[in-house]
Structure 1
Amino acid sequence: MSISRHNLILRSLLVLAFIFGLSGCSVRYDKNGKILFNTDLASVLGNEVGQFTLADGSTGALRELNGRYSLKWSNLMIERPIEGVSWARIISQYHIEGHTLLLLKVATRSCPAQYRLVDVQNTRSQEWAFTGVCDTGPEIAASADKLQLNFTHGNRIEQYTWQHGEVYHRRLPLEPQKTVKRTRTDSVTSSRKAKAQPVAKPVKQTPTKTVEPLPPKVAQPELDNSVPNEIYAPTETRQTSLELKS
């Protein structure tokens, strides 16, 4: 049985419309858990400004549409809006205990450079906004079960530690840098000792093979293994999703 050209074009348009509808569709959950269907124009008309890989190997993207940013990942078409920002980029990502941790640098009305942490695991996600620190990048230390961010703020360190799906907050005093001072008395004493020493006879030296110096070590922040007792609450942004069944 042959298919006319008109029917072939019509079927192609229906397939394109179906794909367009799926890519531009999402499901929103209200406070009572009721499903509300919604459109996702960012996946069709928006700009992709960042990509990330989840712990299960699937991929996701940071998108922008008309100044609004959102994350979307996996074949479940999960979406999470990044609210209250005028600019956002993915700085780094970490895979810890099956969680995908995304460190975002964002710009808000109150600060041109702040940081947020998004925890993605399967269909669930959480977000923490570090609003207490502005225009200061963190020192990062990651291990097999935790991620630690240290922000220097004035004379203290704002420390945020992600562990087992929670973020703990702690304030630490900033240790003053130790400086070594040479007094005039020490210099005079050392010069007198140098003058009092007898002159040594020259000793014949054999040439030795020069050894190239080792490259300097890169200082890494130490990871605090203690767990603070103050839990830092995540933001209450609701995510959307649409599950595709094969």
Structure 2
Amino acid sequence: MVVKSYMEDSTTFSGFVNKIIGALPVVGLIARIVTDTGGVGGDFIDFAEFRRRVGKNSSVNDSRAFIDFQDRRGKAGDPLYVLMCCWLAALGAGLLKSEEILEGVNRLRISNDIEFEEETFIAMMNEAREKRAKLNVPTPTIPMEARVEKALDAIYVCCFGRDPIEEEDERTLNIMLKVVFPSVKESDIANIIKEKAKRVAEGGEEDRYPEPKLLSKEAVQLQMKDLQFLQQNSDS
């Protein structure tokens, strides 16, 4: 069984079966051991699991779209950056504010530190979950089309800066977003992209470009420790 908990509503049949499997002690344990894409029983899907899940759903043509996009956008169009933006929209919608996502991916565009940003976002999502649990407030259900829009907003900030979205960009964006959000109609994704490109061309997105907020002293120290650790390992 292919479990796609981040793509499907809990009221769907596969979502219902997924919850049942996760709740069974033995079966749930086995399912968690044999799957490398996470999401069993509503478990949190980290970025590595998310990438594997998308990779397994990608055709050769899909993978080519990610490469073509990077060829056009350069380092800013790194497939990992695109997938990070999609992961945040897919998993973080309802937990993270839109401005938090956009500030983070804009910071990623500058720092190129994807591991640090992943840790930061996971901490923010966990904190949001804990707050909602204490208040006994469920996470709001965000429609998949809205998640596509959030992913596109994040990709634009991270990968485009303030450049226009051209026709070839629209083609590759359509393919990449369809891989991540297969339950959304391709025509709906295309319309979302066209509307975004139109707003950008007309200057209607100017007030949505966030400036990356400075990290706290503690966050910077943690980032430096991680960098030193990686440098030590590379030297040895």
Query: By the TM > 0.5 criterion, same fold?
Result: no
TM-score (norm 2): 0.26
More helix per residue: 1 or 2?
2
Which structure would you say has the larger Rg? 1
Q: Which structure has the higher relative contact order (CA within 8 Å, separation 6+)?
A: 2
More strand per residue: 1 or 2?
1
TM-score (norm 1): 0.25
